[in-house]
Amino acid sequence: MLLNVNYAFICNGDESFVPVNLMYFRRQKTLVMHRFFRSFGFAFNGLRHAVKTQLNFRLHLLSAAAVVALGVYTGLSSLEWVCISLCIGLVMVLELLNTALEIMVDLVSPDYHPKAGLIKDIAAAAVLMAAIVALVVALFIFVPKFCS
């Protein structure tokens, strides 16, 4: 007697059992995982584009690397690392959003429009504010380490 493992029986609610093709569920699971892993590829494409085309993003990466090196050198506490990591992440995320917004504005409004320029300026101001906050946090953390 051959056993078919591609089917299972599911209770129908009225105590009857219905055969269900398990291959359908396996295909669906594989499809979901494929889409999930493909989304990482799209995200890395976005990062690659930002690194290649955005000078400010590269400067923020360089600054982040310098701060991490300084943190290793000074021996930051866990809480200080959390603060530094959150600040780095905030600045990077806002820089990526600013880049995406600039691309979208260029797509929607290829000709000059004052409001399109204002949208870009406000997005850049958000990045600037985050960078200033990150600098203040870094000063609070690193200045006492070098002054004592």
Q: Is 142 helix (H, G, I), strand (E, B) or coil?
A: helix
Partnered with residue 7 across adjacent β-strands are 21
Query: Structural domain tally of the chain?
Result: 2
**Per-residue pLDDT reduced to its tens digit, 98-120:** 999 999 999 999 899 999 999 99
CATH assignment at residue 95: 1.10.287.3610
**Residue 67 sits in the same domain as residue 135:** yes
Q: What is the pLDDT of residues 42-96, one digit of tens each?
A: 999 999 999 999 999 999 999 999 999 999 999 999 999 999 999 999 999 999 9
Tell me how far apart the alpha carbons of residues 122 and 137 are, in angstroms, rounded to a whole number: 23
Q: CA nearest 77: which of 143, 4, 141?
A: 141
> What is the per-residue DSSP string for 111-125?
S--HHHHHHHHHHHH
- Domain of 11? 1-52
Active site residues: 95
| Whether 76 and 147 share a structural domain | yes
